[in-house]
Structure 1
Amino acid sequence: MKPIEAEQFTRSLTHHGEGPVWLGRHGLAVMDMLAGDVVLVDNNGAETRREHLGEVVAALRPRHDGGFVAGLERGFCLLDDCFAVTRTVTCWTDPSVRMNDGACDPLGRFWCGSMAYDLTPGAGALWRLDAEGSAVKVIADIGCSNGLAWTRAGARAYYVDSLTGRVDFLELGPDGRVVDRQPFADAAGEGFPDGIAVDLADGVWLALFGSGRLVHFDRTGRRDAEIAVPARQVTACTFAGPDYSELFITTSRFGLGDPEAAAGAVFKAKPDVGGFAPHAFGG
């Protein structure tokens, strides 16, 4: 298995960094999730802007016609290009459950999943916000909805329910329904499976929270590479930069009484295979 070293890209700028995404001229966006902040970072790793969206900001993606879509604590919101909220969609009212991670599919729909704050099994769900603005619960009885990413062609999505200890793949019907879900790769007992990124060869990078590393599975599910990070709580990753050749990795200080100095920083690494631009929201 090929080892790859990560280097620190930013200072420690989040308490619980999550959901990194490349936003072109805005640079890299990182969610300080439990602070409800979107943090923008330039090409040199410097923080350029911080926008507060609510109690929680779970995930963010660009919109086709400008602005952004985001997952908030209990639903979704639309933002203009200045990060001002223009519309909100509430999916539930239970304060014990929050959104956690999400991404857009190639057809322009935004998917985001939920979890209980105390990780109650079955309390979460996978939700989809369609371009016209309606929210649909796609899968119920999720433990901790986490990483979600589509291949570039969109033939399948990879999905993590952390409490299963594995990555699954989802096959979608033309109406957006999940028509099949099968185990893809197992990481049980190696850390808490968290965020993912898909590369140009349909391989998957998986962040293993608590382990200080990410592992790579090729499109067949074979493990073939690993990235070591000098912070235990790695949370998520994304391909970013002008050519999407580098993998940017978020980390967390959450719950650590004696965190590493770099916990909460963003790291970067250069895998053999790069990635592609994030799919955008059509609404």
Structure 2
Amino acid sequence: MSDRYHATVPRRLAVELIDPAGSSLGEGPAWDAAADCLVWVDILGQKVHLSEADGTRRATKEFDRHVGAALPAEDGGYLVVRRDGFARWHANDEITPLLDVLTDGSLRFNDAKCDPAGRAFAGTLCYTDGVRGRGELFRLDAGPKATPVRGPVSLANGLGWSPDGRLMYFIDTVEGTLTEFDYDVDGGVLTAPRVLVNFDGSAGQPDGMCVDDDGCLWVALWGGAAVHRFTPDGRLDTVLEVPSKNVTSCAFGPGGRLYVTTAAGALSPEERAQWPLAGGLFVAEPGAGGPAAVPWRPL
């Protein structure tokens, strides 16, 4: 990592377990303000969870394939990013396909998020470990159609936008980069990429992320048992310690709560013994707040 990464001694905070879910690959937390709940997924478990603010499970929906994310929809229900494309989970519990994108079974969709205007972005990865440069970042446009906006990438992951919407952030886990772009909210166009933070793997690999009201970036670390907060110029200033080796993503909810998802599925038996809370849903009150998820605007 760069010297800037370790330029200061960061403050250290802890989390509280609120759901010992044991998720194989817990991911994609997003606060649904309209439904007043947290929506999050277990990608490999093929489940979407709805949880109360205290972690109590409101509902779980099982799918017939891997599911990368579930984004609150402006008209109710959720835009579900499945292994190969997009579907709607309606408020009446009906599932309807929206758009199939991937035909290569070695690829799947991963993380997804909506920009400040309600456009959905979702990225892909290759199932085979070590394979690089086969992923892409897509924008879901009217039609519907999936428009490639960044690629090739190796493992498309965390997304975020600055509070004023002028900057977009994107994580490629395998390449260990958190890239910043200039962003045109009117057109949904990202330009002028520059790496804001380079990760060398010594503290884990960057995974999902969110942005707080001060424009600071909270990055979950796969293999790092932590979430790191970076200032807008890329300096580490806070370490949120998590009792799970593989931390996958985070999102703000009401009252300054930061929800953190983790994964248990990639651990060896020895690691499972070392990390018995792996796969759980955690919460912290880090002294910062952030927005609820921007709802997806149907096409």
In structure 2, C-alpha distance between the alignment counterparts of 1:87 and 1:176, rounded to whole Å: 24
In the alignment, structure 1 residue 20 sits paired with structure 2 residue 29: yes
User: Which residue matches 2:17?
Assistant: 8
Question: Where does structure 1 lack aligned partners over 5 or more consecutive residues?
Answer: none
How far off is 1:125 after superposition?
A: 0.3
For 1:205-216, what aligned pairs fall within 5 Å after superposition?
A: 205-216=218-229
Which amino acid in the other structure matches residue 16 of structure 1? L
User: Which residue matches 2:200?
Assistant: 188
User: Which residue matches 1:143?
Assistant: 154
In the alignment, structure 1 residue 240 sits paired with structure 2 residue 253: yes
In structure 2, C-alpha distance between the alignment counterparts of 1:108 and 1:132, rounded to whole Å: 16
How far off is 1:104 after superposition?
A: 0.3
User: Which residue matches 1:123?
Assistant: 134
How far off is 1:225 after superposition?
A: 0.6
In structure 2, C-alpha distance between the alignment counterparts of 1:110 and 1:223, rounded to whole Å: 28
In structure 2, C-alpha distance between the alignment counterparts of 1:83 and 1:194, rounded to whole Å: 30
Instruction: Tell me: CA distance 1:105–1:83, structure 2 relative to 1, closer, same or farther (3 Å).
Output: farther
How far off is 1:132 after superposition?
A: 5.0
Match of 1:55 among 57, 60, 65: 65
In structure 2, C-alpha distance between the alignment counterparts of 1:13 and 1:115, rounded to whole Å: 23
Q: Indicate the percent of aligned positions where both proteins have the same amino acid.
A: 30
User: Which residue matches 1:134?
Assistant: 145
User: Which residue matches 1:43?
Assistant: 53
In the alignment, structure 1 residue 270 sits paired with structure 2 residue 285: yes
User: Which residue matches 1:255?
Assistant: 266
Structure 1 contact 128–137 (Cα < 8 Å) conserved: yes
In structure 1, C-alpha distance between the alignment counterparts of 2:263 and 2:92, rounded to whole Å: 26
Instruction: Tell me: CA distance 1:185–1:263, structure 2 relative to 1, closer, same or farther (3 Å).
Output: same
In structure 1, C-alpha distance between the alignment counterparts of 2:163 and 2:75, rounded to whole Å: 20
In the alignment, structure 1 residue 114 sits paired with structure 2 residue 124: yes
How far off is 1:192 after superposition?
A: 1.5
Instruction: Tell me: CA distance 1:257–1:138, structure 2 relative to 1, closer, same or farther (3 Å).
Output: same
For 1:166-177, what aligned pairs fall within 5 Å after superposition?
A: 166-173=177-184, 174-177=186-189
Match of 1:203 among 212, 216, 235: 216
How far off is 1:235 after superposition?
A: 0.6
Structure 1, residues 33-92: CA drift from partner, whole Å, max 9, x if none? 112210122233222211023311111111122221121101111221244223321112
User: Which residue matches 1:101?
Assistant: 111
Structure 2 contact 17–283 (Cα < 8 Å) conserved: yes
Instruction: Tell me: CA distance 1:55–1:183, structure 2 relative to 1, closer, same or farther (3 Å).
Output: same
Q: What TM-score, normalized by structure 2, do the two folds share?
A: 0.89
In structure 1, C-alpha distance between the alignment counterparts of 2:206 and 2:93, rounded to whole Å: 30
Which amino acid in the other structure matches residue 49 of structure 1? A
Structure 1 contact 145–160 (Cα < 8 Å) conserved: yes
